[in-house]
């Protein structure tokens, strides 16, 4: 389905290469990952597939990216617009970069269907509602009328994924889709991505710095370092028997479960103390009805002593960030 050959990306036609002769293939329905630390070139390699490189980055003339037998490098803008979204979808690291804060979720979900599918407004709404139900949004109708800022990071990423998968693309490129999310929500979003893509037979190219995380989801891994592919193979082989020094360092850096409790207990009076903190967000006004506030934090007590480290832990939308902001 996707064949990348001698992909090189440089700063200008003759500048420094940030991706150097990358090669990989992706079969229909397959899941593969490009893995590497920040600056390894993995994101730029993924963006180049849809010609989304920021200036002054360019692909070199001998680079080849073929999708279902069609060469994408050098493709005219009009032809590219037919490919983007309809045939190849992309989910970015931060959904607020893709979601317009001034436009409702319903309008943004409908945009791709209006551009690429010849269906009625009523059918667009029906498909959008069905997809929101599929991703377990509690009130799909209310969600369509809401704005991105009204949702947690995890819910925004779910909505972004739903918007992309509405078009049933043949290939999904997911660029660090869970980096900004907590661990529980990361797994939920990735599980959902796998379910949706399998239902539609969509191939997935996953971009990540987390070798341990992607190994649970993908079949094959390409490890990138300083623009080069230093190791390629099955996720099991790369994770358990890495051959390259850089890959071994990535594996060694994976977090390991510890017993905890190694820090010394701190005594003394509290430096910061809060009691029965309640935080409400104003609700959206409705016609002939009062706005109902949304409770984000409900009766929390805590104390922090000088020299002490205290962690607020919870899923996305649990109120931990709101409480932290309230303290300062």
Give the pLDDT confidence of 270-295 residue by residue, as tens digits. Answer: 889 999 999 988 876 666 667 778 88
Based on the fold, state whether residues 119 and 238 are members of the same structural domain.
yes
pLDDT tens-digit readout, 183-195? 777 788 888 888 8
Q: Is 260 inside a domain boundary?
A: no
pLDDT above 90 (res 220): yes
pLDDT-derived band at 316, boundaries 50, 70, 90: low
Based on the fold, state whether residues 236 and 276 are members of the same structural domain.
no
Based on the fold, state whether residues 210 and 100 are members of the same structural domain.
yes
pLDDT above 80 (res 144): yes
> What is the number of domains present in the chain?
2
Highest mean pLDDT: which of 73-82, 131-140, 258-267?
73-82
Contacts by residues 226-233 (CB-CB < 8 Å, ≥ 24 positions apart): 226/39, 226/40, 226/41, 227/9, 227/17, 227/18, 227/19, 227/20, 227/22, 227/40, 227/41, 228/20, 228/21, 228/22, 228/41, 229/22, 229/23, 229/24, 232/24
Q: Is 217 inside a domain boundary?
A: yes
Based on the fold, state whether residues 43 and 111 are members of the same structural domain.
yes
Q: What is the pLDDT of residue 318?
A: 83
pLDDT-derived band at 213, boundaries 50, 70, 90: confident
Based on the fold, state whether residues 237 and 275 are members of the same structural domain.
no
Alpha-carbon separation of residue 111 from 53, 105, 151 (angstroms): 23, 10, 20
How much is the average pLDDT of 74-78? 91
pLDDT above 70 (res 219): yes
Mean pLDDT of the chain: 88
Domain boundary among 252, 286, 303: 252
pLDDT-derived band at 180, boundaries 50, 70, 90: low
Based on the fold, state whether residues 166 and 128 are members of the same structural domain.
yes
Q: What is the pLDDT of residue 239?
A: 87
pLDDT above 80 (res 259): no
How much is the average pLDDT of 242-257? 86
Based on the fold, state whether residues 135 and 279 are members of the same structural domain.
no
pLDDT above 60 (res 247): yes
Domain boundary among 220, 252, 284: 252
Q: Is 257 inside a domain boundary?
A: no
Based on the fold, state whether residues 33 and 93 are members of the same structural domain.
yes
Weakest mean pLDDT among 140-144, 208-212, 232-236, 311-315: 311-315
Domain span at 103: 2-252
Alpha-carbon separation of residue 252 from 4, 166, 326 (angstroms): 29, 39, 38
Based on the fold, state whether residues 171 and 235 are members of the same structural domain.
yes
* pLDDT above 90 coverage of the chain, percent: 52
Based on the fold, state whether residues 274 and 247 are members of the same structural domain.
no
pLDDT-derived band at 210, boundaries 50, 70, 90: confident
Based on the fold, state whether residues 247 and 291 are members of the same structural domain.
no
Q: What is the pLDDT of residue 286?
A: 65
Q: What is the pLDDT of residue 224?
A: 96
Domain boundary among 224, 252, 280: 252
Q: What is the pLDDT of residue 120?
A: 93
Q: What is the pLDDT of residue 32?
A: 94
Higher pLDDT, 124 or 287: 124
Higher pLDDT, 59 or 311: 59
Distance CA 195, CA 206 (A): 15
Q: Is 9 inside a domain boundary?
A: yes
Distance CA 266, CA 259 (A): 19
Based on the fold, state whether residues 314 and 199 are members of the same structural domain.
no
pLDDT above 60 (res 303): yes
* 3-class secondary-structure state, position 142: helix
Q: Which of 215, 210, 243 is nearest to 229 (CA)?
A: 243
CATH assignment at residue 48: 3.40.50.300
Q: Is 112 inside a domain boundary?
A: yes
């Amino acid at each position: 389905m996707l064949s990348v050959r001698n992909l090189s990306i440089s700063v200008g036609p003759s500048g420094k290469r940030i991706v150097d002769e990358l090669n990989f293939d992706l079969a229909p329905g397959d899941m593969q990952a490009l893995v590497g630390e920040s600056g390894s070139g993995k994101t730029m390699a993924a963006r180049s597939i849809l010609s989304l490189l920021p200036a002054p980055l360019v692909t070199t003339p001998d680079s080849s990216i073929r999708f279902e037998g069609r060469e994408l490098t050098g493709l005219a803008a009009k032809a590219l617009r037919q490919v983007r979204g309809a045939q190849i979808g992309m989910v970015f690291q931060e959904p607020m970069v893709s979601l317009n804060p001034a436009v409702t979720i319903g309008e943004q979900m409908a945009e791709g269907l209006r551009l690429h599918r010849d269906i009625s407004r009523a059918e667009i709404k029906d498909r959008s509602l069905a997809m929101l139900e599929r991703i377990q949004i509690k009130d799909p109708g209310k969600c369509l009328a809401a704005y991105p800022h009204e949702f947690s990071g995890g819910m925004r990423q779910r909505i972004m994924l739903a918007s992309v998968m509405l078009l049933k693309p043949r290939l999904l490129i997911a660029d660090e889709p869970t980096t900004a999310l907590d661990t529980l929500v990361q797994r939920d979003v990735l599980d959902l991505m796998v379910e949706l893509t399998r239902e539609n037979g969509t191939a997935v190219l996953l971009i990540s710095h987390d070798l341990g995380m992607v190994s649970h989801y993908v079949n094959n891994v390409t490890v990138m370092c300083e623009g080069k592919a230093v190791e390629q193979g099955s996720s099991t082989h790369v994770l358990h028997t890495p051959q390259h020094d850089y890959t071994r360092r990535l594996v060694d850096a994976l977090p390991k479960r510890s017993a905890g409790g190694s820090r010394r207990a701190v005594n003394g009076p509290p430096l910061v103390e809060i009691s029965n903190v309640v935080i409400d967000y104003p609700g959206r006004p409705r016609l002939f009805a009062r706005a109902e506030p949304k409770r984000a934090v409900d009766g929390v007590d805590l104390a922090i002593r000088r020299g002490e480290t205290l962690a607020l832990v919870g899923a996305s939308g649990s109120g931990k960030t709101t409480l932290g902001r309230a303290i300062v």
